[in-house]
Every structure is written in structure tokens, then in C-alpha cells.
Structure 1
Amino acid sequence: MDKGSGHGDSPNPPKKLGIFLQDACLDHRYIRNRDTSNIVERPQRIRAVKIGISAALACMESLAQPSEPASVARPKAEESTEPDDLAAALSRMAIASKPRVELSLNLSIQVRKSTAALDLLNHSAVKFVHGDIGEDVYLESLKTWARDSGDKVEVGQSEIPEGLPQGDLYLCPGSINAIQGALATVCEAVDTVIKATKPSPNGLATVTEAIDETAAPRAFVAIRPPGHHCGEDTPSGFCFVNNVVVGAAHAHLQHGVNRVVILDIDLHHGNGTQSLIWQINEETYRRSVEAEYSGDTKQGLQVYYGSVHDILSYPCEDGKPDLVQAASVSIHGPHGQHIENVHLQPYESLEQFWDVVYTGPYSRLLAKAGEFLDSTGGPGEDVLVFISCGFDACEHEYPSMSRHQRKVPVSFYHQFARDACAFADKYAKGRLVSVLEGGYSDRALTSGAMAHVCGLAGVDGIKEEWWSLDNLMKVEKATKKKGRGGRQSLTANGAAEPWVQRTAEIFSILDEGSQYTVPSSSSQSSIAPSSDRTLRERKKNHNYAEVEEEWPPKRKGGRKSGGAALPKPAPATSSEEDGGSSIKPKAGGEIGAAKKLPKIILHVRPPVDRDSK
């Protein structure tokens, strides 16, 4: 298999790619103490992804070799513009904020620094996924936990309620801003890809790439915190809401998308996503059966979930039967369920990986997704593809994260993106949204993002050597900060290769104004007026104020969840095992003795020397 150029020469030009960044996501920070050396889910993850994006753009630009640089100014709608000039202007890549980076006229890529925001308590898709009957108990509790987090930590208490996993969850006052910004940016990306391909009633495109610079049928959304471990009301594994499932619900409620494919390539099983789509499919199936007697023709949402993951890692690391069973489910059709779980396999050579593993078991993700769509109507306007894109299976991930040797080469993220795009072209009019999940070492994030963006861009001539270890080290050196508050070095002793210098130039603009160690100055989004909301049928209210007594609360009424698809959250990890630090409360505090607060490590510790292995 040709891993570099993917599918080879394409008969059609590559579709436009939108890359979405959101600085609000940097507001989610660990505050239990100042020692963050063991915190792997950190704001700096986004910086590493931006470096990978910048390197991808610089390398793809070098393929085009334009005769002259693109103009900075965009043509305005009211200006008279010659057709040739307009076509050139619409083909250039721009960062949708000042200052702007211009790339080759042959690259159809746009980077957006999104400022989108929503209110957890007043958004139909969020309510559809995480709401409750009559009252948003979990969502309201989440906002309260974040609001009170500073006060809790100040007196030596954990900001995460007892009964929830203390070892892989944390909050701060800015976390809600980050969570809401992440969700809003995913929804913005969904709007963008739908807008790019939405037909008019007469069958002609009303908005297409050819006439609208903002339209892009493919998107990569670099956000945090991740989401695929969060169920309806069970946060875990760094996740408090499910970004991808909310995006799917938004597409369903706002754009009439009734069939969604979710392809999860994170190292860890997306137990939260599977739990949610099981419930969604269960309800849609029930309504379809009832419709035979009621005559109701309204279509519900159907979701296929396909995941390739390490069965030996979180959340299955302890071998709990319900979690292992859930991560091994393969069901296609019965009870309205469409789920395929594939376990990562070790490999001894790249030839074995590509010729045996990738074309063998890993190919089932897309094959079963195709069967799902073929059995439910085939290609159509109502189809959308998501990638839950974690880079923690990357060969450059921390050894402590991938200690079971279930890894993939960096080129996997390029090839899978190419294959997923071809799948979306066949079934979903090209609509595809890739959303960042895990990935924790800087090198894994940078290399994975670089390869993945190249794959999504669909540019021919991509070279696997671009993300070689030597080139990654050059990029890391060129973008390394010079101490606290210092600017990154744009060249290595003034002699960096042109593509490396270009990478640093693009990154300096993508990263301008981003703050990773202090709270963002951005204010909380204002609360929108009340509106009609669409809710799935679900259980009655839970009293999260009493979570210390029982977590999760007993389900009362509503749909009864069952089977391996809906495991209970793992119990809180021991603060002793997590290396928690002792914090003494101030005078007058609620605790009479010093108490250890747990570290957030998800069973891993980044090595002191990240390049040693």
C-alpha cells in the first residue's frame, strides 16, 4: 500500500478543508496544586497540534511552488472582480482572524480561530445528549462544580464530587468556558460542512465551495477537553461532555441528518460514545416499530459506531467484565444497533502493519460502516461522517501511555483520513468532521496532526518522510519557546530549511494570543434566551447534590439501559496510588486534618526525558 500519496492521483481536485481552533479550550486547567508534571491532559496539547497543523500546511505549500505569493486582501462581495481573480482568491487559504497567513493558490484550506460559544443549559443538541426530563440536573451540577472548584481546592477539598473518578477528572472556574467553546466549535464545523454541500429544492447547489469561501465539506476541529469517555451523565477519562455525539445531535436537529457514522481511532475505547449511541439507536428502533401502528413517519437518528482501540488499556485495563465486553461488542442490525469494535494489534514490521493488520481487521471499521449505510438507504443527503480522532495510539506517545505496545505508525493517521474521506465522498457527499480526542505527548500530537491534516486535505504527492523523526525534531527546535514568556525560535542558528522556517512562521500566527499557563481573559459567554428544546426520552431527575451517598444515582423511570454498552463508571482511584499531594486547609476550613488531593494521570506518567524512547 502506498502510504505517502494515499489513493494516488485523483480525477477531481481536493475538496476544501476547514481547520477550526478555539482558544477558549485553553481555559480548562488543573488547579489542585502548582505541580502539573503528571497532568497529561493539559492546555499545551493544543499548542502541539497547532505545530503539526503548521508543518502540514508548510509542506503541502512546498508542493504547489507558486510563482508569486498570494494577495492578502479578499475580494469583497460588492466589488467588481474578474472571474480569474475571483477563482484565485477563493482558492487561497486564509486564517479567519488578523493577522492572516496566505498559502499557495493551489491549496484549498482555511484555518479559523473560532469564537463560537453556547450555553450548556440552552442548546438543543446538548440537551438531546446530556439533558434530563424536566430539569438539566447533570448539566447544572457540572456548572456548579466548575464554579465552586476554586473554593473547594482552597480549603483542601477535591473539586470533583466523591463517587466520580478522582484520578482522571479535574475542573477549574474556566472549565465551563472551555467545554462550551469546544461544543460550539464542533457545531460550527458541522454547519460548515453541511453548508458546503446542501442542495436547493430544485437540485442545484445554493452554497458551494465555488461561490462561498467559508464552505468546506471537510473539517478538523482541534479542541479539548476530549469527550468520547463521557456518557449521558457519567464523566470520566478527562471527559465531561461528549463533543462528537453532541455534534451528531446538532446535525440531526438542525440539518435533518438522520444517519451518522462515528469512526473512533483513539487508543482507548470510547465507552461514553458507545453508551450514548446505544440509547439513541434503541429509541429510534422502538419508534420505528411503533410507527408501523401509529403511522408516524418522522425519522429518528441512527448512528454507527466503529472503534479500533487497545483492549488492555483504559477503561478496560483492570479487566472488569462489563467494560471489556462493551469494548468487544460487534452487532449489526438487531435491536437497531450498529457497532463494531476492533482491538489494536502489535506488529513487527511496517509491511506487516499495512499488508496484514490495516487491510485486515482495521478495515472492518469502514466496511461495516458501509454495510450500515447500504442497509438503511445507501448514499444520501442525510449522512454525515465523524472521526473521533485520538493520537494516543501513535508510535511517539509516552511509553507509559502505550505500554502494551498497541501502537500505529504516524502514517496511519494520514492513510485513515484518506480512506475516511473516500468513504464520505461515496456515501455522505464528502461531509466529514474530525474532532480531536486523546493524544498526550507533544510529539504524538504534532506528528499525528501533521499526517492527519495532510490526509484530510486530499493533496497528492504527500511524502511520508515529512513526519520522520528527524523532521519532527527540526520542527520542535524551531518552535521551542525560549524560557518563560519568550518567543519561539524561528530558525536554528539562522540556517533552518525553508519549510521549517515556514512552519514556524505559520505557527507564530496560529498561536498568537494563546495562553497556556494562565486563565484566558475571555469572559464567559452570555446566557441566551430560552428556546424550545428537543429531548430524547430518558430517565427522571437525579439528585447530584447527594452524589457522595450514591453515584450514579439509581435510575427511576424512563428507558432502562442494559447490556455491555452501558457500563457503570469506574470507582474513584486512590489518591495514594495517584501520587496526590498533601494540602492543608486554611483556618476555619471544613477539614480538620490535612487531606491528599489526587493527581490526574489516567494511569500514566510522562517520562522525564520524552525523547529517550
Structure 2
Amino acid sequence: MATALFTHADALDHVTPEGHPERVARIEHLLHALAGLDLVRETAPEATEAHLRLCHPQRYIDRIRSAVPDSGQFQLDADTWLSSGSFRAGLRGAGAAIAAVDMVLGGQVANAFCAMRPPGHHAETETPMGFCLFGNVAIAAKLALEAHGLARVAVVDFDVHHGNGTQDLLWDEARSLFIGSHQMPLWPGTGGVEDRGEHDNVLNLPLPPGSGGSEMRSVWTPALSRIRDFQPELLIISAGFDAHQDDPLAQLEWNVDDFRWITRELCDLAADVCDGRVVSCLEGGYDLGALSTSGKAHVEILMEAGQ
């Protein structure tokens, strides 16, 4: 079987101010790095509002839509901006995750990677933040549970920033397991080990600034056993590449081989517990070179796993 790549040119129409780290060039550089790979290339559809309502109330969706400017940019908070194409790009980001779940669970491909922006794992139930508008991976997890009838879905997040939005959106979902590593202390300041979820379905793996691959492996190895015990029927990944040592927004010291390791471990686990069914969605990564090399390595491991 093959690996699908979901993307859309609308990702380029979410325009942030000059100097903003979450910029159009991120997708341009990543897609250039993936250009020579033998992937099933799919057009990301727009999510419907019914899809968004799996995690966000209609009043929140309406608020984001109404804030979109006709031209220029509108600032939602200190970090999160809208341009005229942002709402459509947000719909495509959620739609990519949804379509990837449909395709993987339908057996058309082994696994999938969604190369879209804006990212999603900081968007809470009614709060856009951290460059994010909609909770893409949480929406995809909810869709797998509600529309496909799965009994258990695991979401893992190795972005350098805590996936506070995903944690919020899945906090009371007993059929989900959310596990994430992140630097601490670091924005958004959440993700302590005391956070357990309403059904003991949250596990945070904070890492100190300056730590590298060995420390990452030491926390993820037992966490992988926790996922295995949960026996998910689908694994969804929030794939942020900002834990790389070259990233300007954090101080972890991962390298490309560390991203290969965590991807391979997750794919091997998925092969054992859920027929290899993995959907991965781009989150952070703000050094363009590190994003390109690490993102390509991540996708190459997905491809090896899907063969």
C-alpha cells in the first residue's frame, strides 16, 4: 500500500505579517522537499461546519469567520492573525485531516500526511491561539469515533509546544488517549504531568530546555507502552518539527534522526495494534531548513511503514 499526501494551495493564502514565524514559506519549503517522493497526492477538501462542530460550537466558528478581513491582516491575539484567505485555509486544514482519516480507514492507503497551515493543536474549544484556528487532529479523532464507529483513537503530539488545544478538546473523551511531549517551561505554559484528563486519558511528557534525543527517548519509550495497552484502532500524529536544535522558538536539541526514531516507533506500534493505520498532520517547525529535512524524514518513514 501507499502513503497519501494531502495539501492545497489555499494554505498559501493564509498570510501573516512580515517576520511572523508561521509563514507561507513553511509550506513552500516543505512541499519542495517532498516533491520527489512517490506519494499518492490528494487535494485537501474543505471541512464542513458540521465537521468543525465535532469540537467547536457554532458561535465560535461564526466568530472566526466574521473576523476575517477583506484585505490586510486582523490580529486575534498576540500571535494569531487572519488574512482574507485564512478561514478557507483553516477549513482545508481540518478537511485534510478528515479526508486522510476516511482514506486510511477505507483501506485506500496505508497512512497519510497532511501538509497544511495554519496548524491546529493550540486551538481550544472557543479560543484561537498559538497560530491555530481549528483543532484539526481532535476533529479528525472525533470523526473516526463518530462517523467510522471506532472504539478507541490515540493522538500523539511531539511538537515542542504543548498541544493545549488538543488536550482541551479531548479532555472528556473516554474513547481517546492523548499523549504529548513538549519543552517545559515554554509557551503556552500548560502540559504538566498532573493533567490526566477526565478519564485518565491524557499523558504529558514535559522535557527541560537543552535536552536532546536521549531524554526524548527516555520519556517516549514507556509512553509507547501506554499506547499499546490502550489498543487504539487508529493513531493520529500532531507532527511538529520545532523541537529541532535549529528552531528559533524553543530550546530542545533534537536532530533529524530523532524525528526518524519517534516516527518509526509510532509506525511500528501502529503496525502491531491497528494494522498500521496512521494519519499525521503538520503542526510547528519554524526553521525552514530543519522543517524541510525533518518533515521529509518523517514522511519517508511513513512510506517505509506503508509498503
Which TM bucket (shorter chain)? over 0.9
Secondary structure of the structure 2 residue equivalent to 1:261: strand
2:268 maps to what in 1? 422
2:62 maps to what in 1? 140
Name which one, 1 or 2, has greater alpha-carbon Rg.
Answer: 1
Residues 115, 227 of structure 1: alpha-carbon distance in 2 compared, 3 angstrom cutoff = closer
Residues 408, 115 of structure 1: alpha-carbon distance in 2 compared, 3 angstrom cutoff = closer
State the alpha-carbon separation in 1 of the partners of residues 287 and 55 from structure 2. 30
Cα displacement (A) at 1:51? 2.4
Cα displacement (A) at 1:228? 0.5
State the alpha-carbon separation in 2 of the partners of residues 435 and 329 from structure 1. 26
Among residues 10, 24, 27, which one is paired with 1:43 in the alignment? 24
Secondary structure of the structure 1 residue equivalent to 2:54: helix
2:119 maps to what in 1? 226
1:337-361 per-residue CA deviation (whole Å, 9 max, x = no partner) reads: 211111224668xxxx55x424422
State the alpha-carbon separation in 1 of the partners of residues 67 and 165 from structure 2. 20
State the alpha-carbon separation in 2 of the partners of residues 368 and 459 from structure 1. 21
Does the CA contact (< 8 Å) of 1:307 and 1:365 recur in 2? no
State the alpha-carbon separation in 1 of the partners of residues 83 and 167 from structure 2. 28
1:211-243 per-residue CA deviation (whole Å, 9 max, x = no partner) reads: xxxx11211110110010111111100011101
Among residues 84, 87, 94, which one is paired with 1:183 in the alignment? 94
The TM-score normalised by the length of structure 2 is 0.92
- Is 2:283 the counterpart of 1:433? no
Does the CA contact (< 8 Å) of 1:126 and 1:246 recur in 2? yes
Does the CA contact (< 8 Å) of 1:265 and 1:388 recur in 2? yes
Greater strand share, structure number: 2
- Is 2:23 the counterpart of 1:22? no
Cα displacement (A) at 1:372? 2.6
- Is 2:247 the counterpart of 1:397? yes
Cα displacement (A) at 1:371? 2.5
The residue type paired with residue 48 of structure 1 is H
Cα displacement (A) at 1:395? 2.0
Quote the RMSD (CA, aligned, Å): 2.2
The residue type paired with residue 341 of structure 1 is N
Identity of aligned residues (%): 29
The residue type paired with residue 139 of structure 1 is I
Secondary structure of the structure 2 residue equivalent to 1:182: helix
Cα displacement (A) at 1:143? 0.6
Which structure 2 residue ranges, 5 or more long, are not aligned? none
State the alpha-carbon separation in 1 of the partners of residues 207 and 170 from structure 2. 22
Does the CA contact (< 8 Å) of 1:397 and 1:444 recur in 2? yes
Among residues 48, 51, 66, which one is paired with 1:119 in the alignment? 48
2:183 maps to what in 1? 310
1:151-195 per-residue CA deviation (whole Å, 9 max, x = no partner) reads: 7x6xxxx834xxx52x11111121111111111111111111001
State the alpha-carbon separation in 2 of the partners of residues 191 and 119 from structure 1. 14
Structure 1 residues 171-320: aligned runs within 5 Å: 171-196=82-107, 215-281=108-174, 302-316=175-189
Secondary structure of the structure 2 residue equivalent to 1:173: coil
Structure 1 residues 446-461: aligned runs within 5 Å: 446-458=292-304
1:275-324 per-residue CA deviation (whole Å, 9 max, x = no partner) reads: 1111333xxxxxxxxxxxxxxxxxxxx111111100122112xxxxxx3x
Secondary structure of the structure 1 residue equivalent to 2:55: helix
Residues 237, 266 of structure 1: alpha-carbon distance in 2 compared, 3 angstrom cutoff = same
Does the CA contact (< 8 Å) of 2:172 and 2:199 recur in 1? no
State the alpha-carbon separation in 2 of the partners of residues 359 and 141 from structure 1. 41
Cα displacement (A) at 1:430? 1.1
State the alpha-carbon separation in 1 of the partners of residues 116 and 202 from structure 2. 25
State the alpha-carbon separation in 2 of the partners of residues 248 and 238 from structure 1. 21
1:48-91 per-residue CA deviation (whole Å, 9 max, x = no partner) reads: 11122236x3xxxxxxxxxxxxxxxxxxxxxxxxxxxxxxxxxx
Which structure 1 residue ranges, 5 or more long, are not aligned? 1-14, 58-92, 94-108, 197-214, 282-301, 317-322, 374-378, 461-613
State the alpha-carbon separation in 2 of the partners of residues 171 and 46 from structure 1. 17
The TM-score normalised by the length of structure 1 is 0.48
Does the CA contact (< 8 Å) of 1:269 and 1:327 recur in 2? no
Structure 1 residues 523-602: aligned runs within 5 Å: none
- Is 2:54 the counterpart of 1:128? yes
Secondary structure of the structure 1 residue equivalent to 2:265: helix
State the alpha-carbon separation in 1 of the partners of residues 124 and 146 from structure 2. 19
Residues 138, 228 of structure 1: alpha-carbon distance in 2 compared, 3 angstrom cutoff = same
Structure ranking higher on relative contact order (CA contacts 8 Å, 6+ apart):
1
Does the CA contact (< 8 Å) of 2:237 and 2:279 recur in 1? yes
Structure 1 residues 9-88: aligned runs within 5 Å: 15-30=1-16, 36=18, 38-54=19-35, 57=37
Residues 179, 347 of structure 1: alpha-carbon distance in 2 compared, 3 angstrom cutoff = closer
- Is 2:218 the counterpart of 1:360? yes
Does the CA contact (< 8 Å) of 2:44 and 2:93 recur in 1? no
State the alpha-carbon separation in 2 of the partners of residues 327 and 110 from structure 1. 38
